[in-house]
């Protein structure tokens, strides 16, 4: 089947998809977002919000330091 989409659009979609899948992997691995032992919706929402906020702050600190945004391995150590 012939793909009629422009190659630049396909590259953009693949790049965005790779970033999204990486972030989801980080959230499940580092922040254990799959395991949210909550009894009600309020606590579940606040826990997920805290985990997302922590991820966003880590990304922001990496951007300020001039590193790739989603590479958290060397975030605490000094270069």
DSSP label at residue 1: -
pLDDT band at 78 (very low <50, low <70, confident <90, very high): low
**pLDDT of 9:** 92
What would the pLDDT profile of 9-27 be if each residue is shown by its tens digit? 999 999 999 989 988 888 8
Q: What is the 3-state secondary structure (H, E, C) of 28-64?
A: HHCCCCCCCCCCCHHHHHHHHHHHHHHHHHHHHHHHH
Q: Give the predicted TM-score (pTM) of the model.
A: 0.71
pLDDT (tens digit, 9 = 90+) per residue, 24-68? 888 888 878 777 788 899 988 998 899 889 989 989 998 998 888
């Amino acid at each position: 089947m012939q793909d009629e989409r422009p190659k630049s659009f396909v590259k953009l979609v693949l790049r965005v998809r790779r970033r999204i899948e990486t972030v989801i992997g980080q959230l499940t691995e580092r922040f254990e977002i799959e395991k949210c032992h909550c009894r009600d919706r309020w606590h579940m929402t606040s826990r997920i919000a805290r985990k997302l906020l922590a991820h966003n702050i880590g990304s922001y600190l990496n951007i300020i330091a001039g590193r790739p945004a989603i590479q958290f391995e060397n975030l605490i150590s000094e270069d």
